[in-house]
Structure 1
Amino acid sequence: MSRIAALAAAAFALSAAPAAADDYAATARNIIPSGQYGSVPPAPGADAQALMYDGLTPLFDQVTDADLLSKFKSEQFGLGEDGPGTVEAIPRAGVTVVRDRFNVPHITGGSRDDVTWAMGWILGEDRGLLLAQARDAARLAAIDAPNIDAFGLVVDLKQFTPTKQVDAIIQRDGDAALKSAGAAGAAVRHDIDVYLEGLNAKLKADGGTRPWTRVDIYAANAITGQIFGQGGGDEARRSEFLSSLRKRYGATKGQGIFDDLSEFDDPDSPATMSKAFPYGKAIGIGKGNAVLDAGSFKPVGPKGLARAASAHPRWTSNFLLVGASRSATGHPLFVGGPQIGYTYPGLTLEADISYPGVQARGATAPGFAGNILIGRGQDYAWSLTSAGSDLIDNYVETLCGGSKTKYVFKGKCLKMGTLDAGTIKGSGRVKFNTTVHGPVTGYAKVGGKTVAVSRKRASYGKDILWQLGFRDLTTGKVNSATALRDAMSTSPFTFNVGYADDRDIAMYSAGKLPKRDPRVDPRLPTKGTGQYEWKGFLSKAQHPFQVNPPSGTLVNWNNRPAPKWGAADDNWSYGSVQRVRMLNDGLAKTPTHTLATVTSAMNAAATQDLRSVALTPVITELLKAAPSPSPRATRMLAILNEWRAGGSSRLDRDLDGVIDAGPGPAIWDAFYPRLAKVALPIKGLDALIGKDSGTASDFTDGGFWYIEKDLERLNGAKLKQPFNMRYCGNGQKAKCAAAVWKALDAVPGDPDALRVDATKERIAFRPGLLPTTIRFTNRPSGIQQVISFSGHRPR
């Protein structure tokens, strides 16, 4: 009883006290739509943040200061306006946990160990269901089980039972990685052990029988990296596509088309930074490359799950950083967060932590032992976007000895290793071969001869090193933009890190990125004979990094981080149009900004249709070159222009189940597939870039960037680097215009009567445990911060 009384007194003191004296934030707000709760059935109020989040959507570009207070909750340290709090009794002396009205835990400890232990306890309490479902599947990410989407197993509620061999490998690699990091690695290892004590104490209290181990923590970091922190590894399929192009169009033209479509280094592609950072060089089919015969690659894996690498990775998240020179307050403005989908329980959860010398708050995640993933310290904030830079390569292994399990490496015939990983219930055994490069993902043919294809990931076995930088961010060791770069240069995963304090904005693009043999084109598989291995890794100075650019902004929506930065082989979307354009257009409307106007730019772009924004004026100009085939085609073009003039939004403000804009969205939805067919008639491309150019892909698929660039050239626009080939109408403007008119005229129905069912675009929280749905919006979901600082610790 005395302990409960003491906790109650502490809770009262926290709820009554003002923000800590060393909190330098002038404004600090955030929102996590999935919320803090994780129980089933969902607790009352589990959708409170989802409803606030949904309330911002219909405001479009008219967000006010008052809206920041009502549509985001506080991210100040301590309970503040979100009190009074409820004390939570936990079985560790020296730490106090108080829950606010959103169930967010405010953790105060006498030491880092106190707080780390409590974060483990809270993880078990708030994400016990997620932990139970994900812990074993995450191991498949850690070992790079070929052609299996580990997170897909989690969402689909599929059960995986690992073998002891898998755990031994993950334990060995994770421990070795931390040992290689010296004192910093030892500190993370200590944090993990303390975190596990707290987590296992909670699981035991709830009747759990299988304690978590370091292996689980290593695997949790690996699956996060697999979802959001890697790029490349699709060279095999891309080379098959090249083979088909060369066969269909001839070697020279086929190569020219491949060079156009791969968008490796397009100077017309929008970049976040103004400073160039060269990475990679496209040389064609290099001496160190192997090109697979078209249609020959056969992936390995359990029946029903075996598939080639994803054609369209999860490139998500955005941040808008506005520098002091364009801020009404004279201090930088920060609006940003990760887009990690919408799930319940959420993949992230929040923590506000305090112990002597340290204060931090933001989103954490399973495997983050005492650390904040995205959030803020006393005088700085940070966020991430997936960079998708190229840290994975396919190697073509020459087979020998008349066997599919023997291969040539450095002049010797070696036997492949075998890994029996375990069983996926309902799908079968996960068992695969390995080479010196990594898991064998499948078999194919080169010049009619069978070869094996393996996968080498630069971050393999080093996943846990991702925690090093976040430990520095959480503990306040980062006190400048340069210190941010130093901290995040340890990341094995590839992310763009946005940063702001009271003076500077900055971005650093992280990842363990290999330097390739100059005889290897990074877009194609590498010969695995041992002659063309990696030549080390990029240094910290070679990674994109910029502070306070001349434009006064750093804006990223998974677009190219810097000029000259080569795209990963699985990313063919670094074209002349990317969705970051909508964010930049929003910021360009105002020379001087407030947090409300920056949030307005983000929120408007979240419901805009990029096809309407980018393609409508280009097509309108093009169609002047040929007569309209019908009055209804003319009317449809007029409707498309009316929609663009009105903002190109897909909003359903009145919740009547129909997009407010009228027929415009419906016309574009029906028109785009027809347009793509006539403007980009390249067979097999859809399999690599996806067919859906709209909301289902959040405007990242479908190839609209190719169409825009090709048609702009026909319209006479000056491009920094035109395509090698002509596509629509074979470069004849009138012919192209006539084909596009015909495609528009083929949209069925009365143009003025067409509508889009907005209910089909509403967002549901997977896998369906939370019944609440929200309007379509394309904005940060793991956490979104709206923050600015007016002061700083002594520098």
Structure 2
Amino acid sequence: MSPLRLVIATLTATCLCAAPALAAAPADYAGTARNIIPSGQYGTFPVPAGADEQAKMYDALTPLGANVTDAALQTDFKSALFGTDGQCPCTTEAVPRRGLTIVRDRFDVPHITGTTKDDVTWGAGWVLEEDRGLLLAQGRYPARFAALDAPGINAFKLVTGLKTVTVTKQADAIIDREQTAALRGAGAEGRALLHDIDVYIQGINARLRAEKSTQKPFTRVDVYAVNALAGQIFGQGGGDEARRAMLLSGLQKRLGARKGKQVFDDLSERDDRDTPVTIARRFPYEAVPTRAATGNVALDDTRISAATTRGLRVAAARSERHSSNFLMVSAKRSLTGHPLFVAGPQIGYYYPGLTLEMDLHGPGIDARGAAIPGGPGNILIGRGADFAWSLTSAGSDTNDVFAETLCGGSSTRYRYRGRCRTMGRVDAGTIVGQGKVAFRTTVHGPVLGYAKSHGRKVALSFDRASRGRDVLWELMFSRFSSGRVKDPKSFFAAAATSPFTFNVAYADDRHIATYSAGRLPIRDPRVDPRLPTNGTGPYDWKGFLPAAKHAQALDPADGALVNWNNKPAPGFGPSDSEWGYGSVHRVQLLKAGIARRAKHDLASVTGAMNAAATTDLRAAGTTLDAIDRVLASGPAPSPRDQQVLGLLMAWRAAGSSRLDTDLDGKMDAGGAPAVLDALYPRVADAVLSPVLGSQLGALSDIAGLTNSTRSGFTGGRLAFVDKDLRQLLGDPLRTRYRTRFCGKGVLAACRAALWAAVHAAADEVATAQGTGDPAAWTSDATAERITFAPGLLPTTIRYTNRPSGIQQVMTFTGHRPR
């Protein structure tokens, strides 16, 4: 417990089990309920002793790979049962509100029990400030820029960069007006959520007063803004149409209109039938027009300003995804006869953590799991009495760039619905050391910058389907936390309320289900969704996708639902910022782990997740095999090159793990991982450069230069390399490129380019390690150990690519009366 908490908390008798005086735990139908949050519950500085306990437990699972046992589930995860039974020693806090009890278990998790629901909601606000006061103080003002979509501003990086921000009354007024109206427009449920927000704020401010804080009291705008920040990081997709358009323009200028468009279409991977999906059923959404798309604006491939470049990059980065995953096995494939649920969000590693755990109980609320700032008495990801839920970022196409026609040479007047309008202006605030944040707006949203179309200047504005309604995200969690979700039908209805785009997972004692959520625009049929939309009015959005047409599944025939930020279903069009829904994807590692057994228990499902978390997709998937087969079509240029290839293929045969099990600072695989790290970007360049030419840099900037631990094995042009090489080798593929990239389709030329890449990578590793003998090379495991940003917690843990915001391991054996 932190020194600050000791000032105002009265610690009661320490118990070795749940104290009899505590309120009895509510009905709990879990057979097994375990979880872990590596950032832990503590959030103060100086860092208190024991703050890294969960990080060490989390790290202990990593070297087990697929060999996870029931015993490991007990030691490497902690209890997520309702109440404190078996989770003590416990302490009870003194709080200035009758009807509210807060008990802390041995991991400092607060078990909040209220006589009324308002007591619980107030207590959640109190605990939030108590446990995440540093994070709140740092994040509340930068989060405003996320709610406003301030061009070129990555609000989350302002938070993690410890930037000081001031905001204007105009900014707060815009956010308050839009979000409050959205809540009131949601009827009785929205008004109830607004009430919860007000009570939650009272709890935060009561804690600030108890701490004698000099901060300004929290307001609704703070809650609205932090929800918008969560959406900016994880809950959006698209917004990269302008950079795509300039890439297309460059390709067509160099290759000709027809050939350039063909290359662009291949790289877009719009509906690749070889890409792995979570749901087998086809859900058509957002097709590319079969005829000429008259509702788009072409952009010239010419120099744009630094400010516009920054605006376009940040807009596209808002669809950034990490490593959230879920693995659900149905009752028919479970050894227990009940569904198995292993799931969690990957939101990076921070101290203070971006999430914190709460166990909430009172009239109308029974829930436990990860909460976030801005969740007014709700659990973000967790469990109810008889079901669990989780999220992965879906990145579906919620955002668009509109190209605005400017009037009479003006930069601030644009044509919309037949007349010229003057752009609005927002003075949002100031970032210390960076300057003032101010921007123009059109009817579509903030102006990101300017470009040229056929030599004429156009403004590029950014529209986001969830803007002004970010807080409505909480409706879903309110339904989950209050027990209003009782079955798959009510689950689907709850998930459909989310304006942010997430794949939502659900499991109870009988069923598994998933729903791909988000307020997804329906584009005009004359608009190619990959490119900027003509902003003059006729091509605006035509409504939003009905809930019944969202990708969704219940108890699939194959008995499993697995997602790792992959495409949710066939036909479900990816956003324009997605460049990785091709023939290879990291979700294949999870699917393979589930496919290895006809029936599973929780330990084996956890093992499938854990093994994939340290596996190098580039080696374990089909890509390295394809590289080897191309190289094997001719002799190696030198014995060393052949030896290097042998290292890689031996590593592949051994499982492609990047583990350092004995903690000697070197990966168990020897030098192979270091070789592949040096080789892969060169291979990608070698495969794509014969056709991409001068556009290779633009593609790499958009799609990522490399696929590696840094990207969580997403993007980085891997899908392009995989499909092109496999097509060159004659592999059966359901969707084929019309373009031949590597060697322009000539095997000998491709082979020579790949051997050159191998030779150059080997030279790099030999120079770095001071020896030309590949057998003596090693791979540095220390360099990729995980640190907790921004550096307050000194503990580091092994590299792993698994959920970090919370990870749940759950199964339920009963249910409330149906």
When residues 628 and 435 of structure 1 are mapped into structure 2, their CA distance, relative to the original with a 3 A threshold, is same
8 Å CA contact 1:587–1:601 kept in 2: the answer is yes
Shift, 1:585, TM fit: 1.0
TM alignment of 1:469-484, pairs within 5 A: 469-484=476-491
SS in 1 for 2:102: strand
The alpha carbon displacement at 1:430 in A equals 0.6
Match of 1:733 in 2: 747
Q: Which residue of 1 aligns with 2:769?
A: none
Q: Distance in 1 between matches of 2:679 and 2:652?
A: 15
User: Post-superposition shift, 1:300?
Assistant: 3.7
- For residues 9 and 44 of structure 1, the distance between their equivalents in structure 2, rounded to whole angstroms, comes to 18
Which of 161, 171, 189 is the matching residue for 1:156? 161
**CA distance in 2: counterparts of 1:111 and 1:461, whole angstroms:** 31
State the distance in 2 between where 1:14 and 1:355 align: 18
Change (3 A) 1:299 1:15: farther
The match for 2:109 among 104, 108, 114 is 104
Task: Return the match for 1:67 from 69, 72, 83.
Answer: 72
Report how far residue 495 of structure 1 moved.
0.4
The question of whether the paired residues in 2 share the 8 Å contact of 1:560 and 1:574 is answered with yes
- The partner residue of 1:206 within 208, 211, 215 is 211
**Residue 743 of structure 1 aligns with which residue?**
757
Partners of 1:13 and 1:730 lie apart in 2 by 70
Measured in 1, the distance between the counterparts of 2:233 and 2:10 equals 44
1:7–1:96 contact (8 Å) kept in structure 2: no
Kept in 1: contact 2:404–2:415 (CA 8 A): yes
Q: 1:436 aligns with which of 422, 443, 447?
A: 443
Alignment partner of 1:368 out of 370, 375, 384: 375
* 1:9 Cα offset (Å): 10
1:697 maps onto 2:725 in alignment? no
User: For residues 243-262 of structure 1, what are the structure 2 equivalents within 5 Å?
Assistant: 243-262=249-268
1:16 CA displacement: 8.8
For the pair 1:677 / 2:682, whether they are aligned, the reply is no
Matched, 1:221 2:227: yes
- Superposition deviation, residue 737 in structure 1: 2.0
Structure 1 residue 273 corresponds to structure 2 residue 279: yes
CA distance in 2, matches of 1:338, 1:427: 32
The one-letter code of the counterpart of 1:422 is G
Q: Which residue among 455, 460, 464 is the counterpart of 1:453?
A: 460
1:78 alignment partner in structure 2? 83
Distance 2:295 2:321 in 1: 29
TM alignment of 1:487-506, pairs within 5 A: 487-506=494-513
Residue correspondence of structure 1 range 292-691 to structure 2 within 5 A: 292-298=299-305, 300=307, 308-310=314-316, 313-356=320-363, 358-614=365-621, 615-681=623-689, 682=692, 683=696, 684-691=698-705
Question: How far has the Cα of 1:701 moved from its partner?
Answer: 2.7
The Cα of 1:625 is off from its aligned counterpart by 1.8
Q: Which residue, out of 193, 202, 210, partners 1:197? A: 202
Give the TM-score normalised by the residue count of structure 2: 0.94
Q: Which deviates the most, 728-737 or 38-47?
A: 728-737
Q: Which moved more, 1:609-618 or 1:448-457?
A: 609-618
Q: Root-mean-square deviation (CA), in Å? A: 1.9
Q: What displacement does 1:315 show?
A: 3.9
Cα deviation for residue 310 of structure 1 reads 4.0
Structure 1 SS opposite 2:97: coil
**Contact 1:108/1:355 (CA < 8 Å) preserved in 2?**
yes
Whole-angstrom distance in 2 between the partners of 1:18 and 1:668: 56
Other-structure match for 2:800: 777
Shift of 1:489: 0.6
Q: Secondary structure at the match of 1:602?
A: helix
Question: Structure 1 pair 15/596, CA: closer, same or farther in 2 (3 Å)?
Answer: farther
Give the conservation status (yes or no) of the 8 Å contact 1:296–1:445: no
Partner of 2:45, secondary structure, is coil
Q: 490-499 or 261-270, which moves further after superposition?
A: 261-270
Residue among 5, 30, 40 paired with 1:35? 40
1:425-460 deviation line (CA, Å, top 9, x unaligned): 000111110000000000010011111000011100
- The residue that corresponds to 2:52 in the other structure is 47
Alignment of 1:754 onto 2:768: no
SS at match of 1:219: helix
Whichever residue aligns with residue 219 of structure 2, its letter is: T
| Structure 2 Cα separation of the partners of residues 424 and 459 of structure 1 | 25
User: What is the distance in 1 between the residues matched to 2:589 and 2:20?
Assistant: 41
Percent of aligned pairs with the same residue?
58
* Equivalent residues of 1:320, 1:598 under 8 A apart: yes
Amino acid corresponding to residue 727 of structure 1 in structure 2: F
Q: Deviations over 1:309-340 (max 9, x none)?
A: 34572343001011111110111000010000
Query: Separation in 2 of the partners of 1:504 and 1:275?
Result: 18
Higher deviation after alignment, 376-385 or 669-678: 669-678
Tell me if structure 1 keeps the 8 A contact 2:144–2:171: yes
Which residue in 1 is equivalent to 2:127?
122
TM-score, structure 1 normalization: 0.97
Q: Deviation of residue 90 (structure 1)?
A: 0.8
Residue aligning to 2:813 = 790
For 1:132, the equivalent position in structure 2 comes to 137
Task: Report the Cα offset of residue 623 of structure 1.
Answer: 2.2
The 8 Å contact of residues 161 and 423 in structure 1, kept in 2 or not, is answered as yes
Change (3 A) 1:357 1:520: closer
Q: Deviations over 1:281-315 (max 9, x none)?
A: 123761000111113443648x9999553457234
- What is the letter of the counterpart of residue 113 of structure 1? D
Measured in 1, the distance between the counterparts of 2:495 and 2:47 equals 36
SS of equivalent to 2:382? strand
Q: Give the Cα separation in 2 of the matches to 1:336 and 1:115.
A: 26
Mapped to 2, the partners of 1:196 and 1:357 lie a distance apart of 20
Contact 1:305 1:427 in 2 (8 A): no
Cα distance, 1:538 vs. partner?
A: 0.4
Taking the aligned partners of 2:62 and 2:168, their CA distance within structure 1 comes to 46
Deviation of 1:482 after TM superposition, in Å, equals 1.6
Looking at structure 1, the residues matched to 783 and 19 of structure 2 have their Cα atoms a distance apart, in angstroms, of 44
C-alpha distance in 2, partners of 1:102/1:385?
A: 26
For 1:714, the equivalent position in structure 2 comes to 728
2:288 alignment counterpart: 282
Distance of aligned partners of 1:204 and 1:386 in 2 relative to their CA distance in 1, 3 Å threshold: same
Q: Among 713, 737, 750, which residue is 1:723 paired with?
A: 737
- Structure 2 CA distance, aligned partners of 1:723 and 1:533? 32
Q: Hey, what's the Cα distance between the residues in 2 that align with 1:48 and 1:601? A: 24
Q: Structure 1 16/751 Cα, relative in aligned 2: closer, same or farther at 3 Å? A: farther
Alpha-carbon separation, structure 1, partners of 2:446 and 2:793: 38
SS of the equivalent of 2:128 reads: helix
Deviations 1:25-79 (A, max 9, x none): 0000000000000000111000000000011111111110000000000000111
Give the direction of change, closer, same or farther, for the CA distance of 1:14–1:540 in structure 2 (3 Å limit): farther
Aligned in 2, Cα 1:6/1:341: closer, same or farther, shift over 3 Å? closer
